[in-house]
């Protein structure tokens, strides 16, 4: 693959050598063409939010991308460390991150197996983002994983035509600090430009031992012609973070404090409690993208890109009281021991994306595009230490080993046509094929025999979308759209079924999404409303449980829906002052939900408990942003309210433990506020200096943004109750978020 990229760069240079530059203002327009085929615009009948580079820069002091999107409609960010750095997640309309499609410059970013984008692997990526579009619902056809809650497409920085250098430094609570150095050559010889960024983010974390050390870089170089851009981009991230994803019970918070972290806990030979000092996640991810954009004529342009991503890493865990036969260690029957294991993965992801885009600048715009991606990933586990003295332990004792191969191809055609003045019709058709193969040994054992991990699946999806948008007059616009999307199960969905006594083959999901919206826009006031109804077949919904890897478990629910009303308003009462607010009222339900129950004789069966709340799906989210800019001074107060959330799909708000205590199965509602203050001025020899401070959780709210929960159910003559005892393990754990904390920041522009 490396040879392919070298050859591609050489070919691009040869192609570009015949070009001449007459108008460098074309650069931005040509760069935007890299994402135009997958983005919505003001004539597309879908719900979306655009986030500009200016907005990102005002908030980007170290927190991951989910927290920079946290105040957009229907969005909710979570953080394992409690600070917004490290392992973070984004949910939109209640759907989890595995159902949010993410691309950069049209290149898929979701992990091909898990469908997750682990932001910790690309630390400080926001420093190189030109703009972002977050589409809610099915959205427009894109490349990579199916969109079941949202589509997030990011465009990285355009090549700069003028030389620059910036140094950004942040530091504050919990040992958090960020250093970013960015630079650009400007346009050289009228054709060439090179930009780059070196970044480091470190934190001790709010949660005990939840430290993070993230290093990254971003480099790009390209050739610019009147009608051509050829650009090579490479970026990477290396991270080492202490595990904080096990979360903590309310009882342990009361006993040890809100920052308590049970991960890595063990008992020494002297009988004392200790925590393993290397309970860490370690990963390196390297990305390469080669883009070619060609304007064929004023109405037609062609985009093509090659991409390759290399990932490798592991996490290391101290595990107590483990059955050694499960690690292929020969011992007497049933012998157990504490041990340290490493679970590793190495993967390669490569492919090609292309699109042909037409716009007559009058009535018709159309796109034809697609992608073909190949993934090859190895998963294996090694035991590196065993407490008990065992003579026959091999170095790096291998205890499971499997491989996954996945090909994912799609083609799409889109058209937006203005039938009469102001009335646009939109049609979007996509076909997607997925071939998935997994083979090797799993981590599970049945009757003393290791269970094989052997999966072969093919999926063919047709995803049509259509709609109408009518601009009644310059101030009023209405639209409606209907779309269908499908998504295949993830690796975790298959793997979690392997571990069950009666595995059920996971099924592909189907979503039918209806969107109806209205917008009123004047010079100083904007109001928008969007109604959505998302009807699912076999939706994967988080159960509340975590698997052996610490990841959230999802399961098919045959019939479910999400419906809601999203409202937005922006008011500019006078120059410099902006008041923005958005709110989402939603109803998220499973229909004909079946729970596994036991009777008085402990016989198992399933009972239909009717309609239940979907997990981790708040009924109400409200965001309010007040901002003021006067010359170099900027201030913003950003507040967020999130209503309570169920942590399971059972409709039970609590369960009873063996001691008769009622244990909550809910995430409580919370209200937080962040304050941003900065001032920009000039000094001789510098283009500008910006200094400021951001105070997060201004009013010291004690809250949890995430959690996990498991309970069991008893059927007593038709009356269903929830319980947990020592034989039937139950739990409720919570991810505590940081109290009032701050980051001071300063930026130098040269």
Within the chain, which residues score under 50 in pLDDT? 1-22, 24
- Residue 596: give its domain's CATH number: 2.40.170.20
Prediction pTM value: 0.93
pLDDT at 547: 80
Residue located via tokens 């969107």: 515
As given in the structure block, the two tokens for residue 201 are: 């983010």
The CB-side HSE value for 433 (13 A sphere, CA atoms) comes to: 8
The rounded distance, in Å, linking the Cα atoms of 84 and 737 is 9
pLDDT of 505: 86
377 vs 311: CA distance, rounded Å: 9
Q: How many residues does the chain have?
A: 750
pLDDT at 701: 97
Write down the pLDDT at residue 15.
34
What residues pair up with 169 in beta bridges, in sequence order? 179, 746
Which pLDDT belongs to residue 6? 36
pLDDT value at position 33? Answer: 64
- Please report the pLDDT score of residue 633 as a whole number: 96
Q: With beta carbons less than 8 A apart as the criterion, state whether 155 and 131 touch.
A: yes
**Residue range of the domain that includes 445:** 2-749
Distance CA 556, CA 487 (A): 12
Whole-number pLDDT of residue 3: 39
Number of domains the chain contains: 1
- When computed from its CA atoms, the radius of gyration of the chain, rounded to whole angstroms, is 26
Residue 236 has a pLDDT of: 96
Query: In the prediction, which pLDDT does 661 show?
Result: 85
DSSP 13: H
């Amino acid at each position: 693959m490396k040879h392919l990229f070298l050859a591609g760069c050489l070919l691009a240079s040869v192609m570009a050598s015949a070009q001449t530059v007459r108008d460098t203002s074309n650069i931005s327009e040509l760069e935007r063409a890299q994402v135009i085929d997958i983005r919505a615009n003001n004539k597309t009948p879908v719900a979306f939010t655009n986030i500009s580079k200016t907005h990102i820069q005002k908030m980007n002091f170290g927190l991951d991308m989910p927290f920079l999107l946290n105040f957009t409609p229907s969005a909710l960010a979570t953080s394992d460390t409690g600070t917004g750095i490290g392992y973070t997640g984004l949910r939109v309309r209640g759907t989890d991150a595995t159902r949010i499609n993410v691309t950069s410059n049209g290149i898929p970013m979701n992990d091909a197996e898990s469908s997750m984008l682990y932001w910790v692997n690309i630390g400080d990526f926001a420093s190189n983002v030109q703009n972002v579009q977050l589409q809610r619902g099915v959205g427009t056809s894109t490349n990579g994983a199916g969109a079941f809650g949202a589509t997030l497409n990011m465009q990285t920085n355009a090549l700069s035509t003028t030389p620059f250098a910036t140094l950004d430094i942040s530091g504050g609570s919990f040992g958090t600090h960020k250093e970013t150095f960015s630079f650009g050559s400007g346009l050289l010889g009228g054709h060439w430009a090179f930009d780059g960024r070196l970044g480091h983010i470190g934190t001790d974390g709010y949660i005990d031992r939840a430290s993070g050390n993230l290093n990254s870089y971003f480099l790009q170089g390209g050739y610019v012609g009147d009608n051509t851009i050829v650009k090579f981009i490479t970026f990477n991230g290396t991270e080492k973070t202490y595990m904080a994803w096990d979360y903590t019970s309310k009882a342990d918070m009361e006993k040890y404090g809100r920052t308590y972290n049970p991960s890595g806990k063990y008992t020494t030979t002297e009988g004392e409690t200790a925590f393993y000092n290397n309970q860490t996640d370690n990963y390196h991810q390297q990305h390469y993208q080669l883009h070619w954009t060609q304007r064929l004529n004023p109405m037609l342009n062609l985009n093509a890109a090659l991409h390759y991503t290399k990932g490798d890493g592991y996490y290391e865990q101290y595990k107590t009281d483990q059955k050694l036969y499960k690690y292929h260690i020969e011992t007497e029957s049933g012998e157990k021991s504490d041990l340290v294991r490493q679970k590793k993965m190495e993967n390669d992801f490569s492919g090609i994306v292309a699109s042909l885009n037409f716009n007559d600048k009058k009535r018709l715009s159309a796109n034809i595009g697609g992608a073909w991606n190949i993934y090859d990933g190895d998963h294996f586990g090694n035991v590196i230490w065993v407490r008990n003295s065992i003579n026959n332990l091999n170095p790096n004792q291998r205890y499971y080993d499997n491989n996954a191969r996945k090909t994912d191809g799609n083609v799409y055609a889109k058209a937006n046509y203005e039938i009469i003045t102001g009335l646009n019709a939109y049609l979007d058709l996509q076909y997607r094929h997925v071939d998935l193969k997994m083979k090797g040994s799993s981590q599970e054992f049945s009757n003393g025999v290791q269970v094989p991990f052997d999966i072969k699946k093919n999926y063919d999806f047709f995803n049509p979308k259509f709609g109408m948008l009518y601009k009644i007059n310059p101030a009023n616009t209405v639209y409606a759209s209907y779309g269908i999307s499908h998504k295949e199960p993830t690796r975790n969905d298959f793997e979690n079924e392997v571990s069950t006594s009666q595995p059920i083959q996971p099924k592909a999901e189907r979503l039918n999404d209806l969107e109806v919206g209205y917008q009123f826009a004047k010079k100083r006031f904007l109001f928008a409303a969007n109604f959505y109804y998302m009807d699912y077949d076999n939706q994967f919904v988080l159960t509340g449980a975590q698997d052996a890897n610490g990841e959230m478990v999802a399961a098919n629910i045959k019939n479910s829906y999400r419906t809601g009303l999203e409202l937005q308003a922006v008011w500019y009462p006078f120059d410099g002052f902006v008041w923005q607010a958005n709110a989402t009222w939603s109803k998220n339900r499973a229909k004909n939900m079946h729970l596994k129950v036991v009777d008085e004789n402990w016989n198992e069966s399933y009972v239909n408990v009717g309609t239940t709340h979907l997990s981790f799906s708040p009924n109400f989210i409200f965001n309010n942003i007040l901002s003021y800019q006067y010359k170099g001074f900027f201030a913003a107060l950003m507040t967020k309210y999130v209503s309570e959330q169920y942590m399971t799909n059972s409709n039970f708000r609590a369960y009873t433990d063996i001691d008769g205590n009622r244990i909550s199965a809910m995430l409580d509602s919370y209200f937080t506020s962040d304050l941003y203050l900065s001032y920009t001025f000039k000094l001789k020899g510098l283009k500008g200096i910006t200094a400021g401070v951001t105070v997060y959780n201004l009013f010291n709210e004690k809250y949890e943004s995430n959690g996990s929960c498991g309970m069991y159910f008893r059927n007593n003559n038709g009356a269903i109750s929830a319980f947990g005892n020592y034989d039937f393990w139950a739990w409720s754990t919570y991810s505590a978020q940081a109290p009032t904390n701050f980051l001071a920041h300063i930026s130098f522009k040269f």
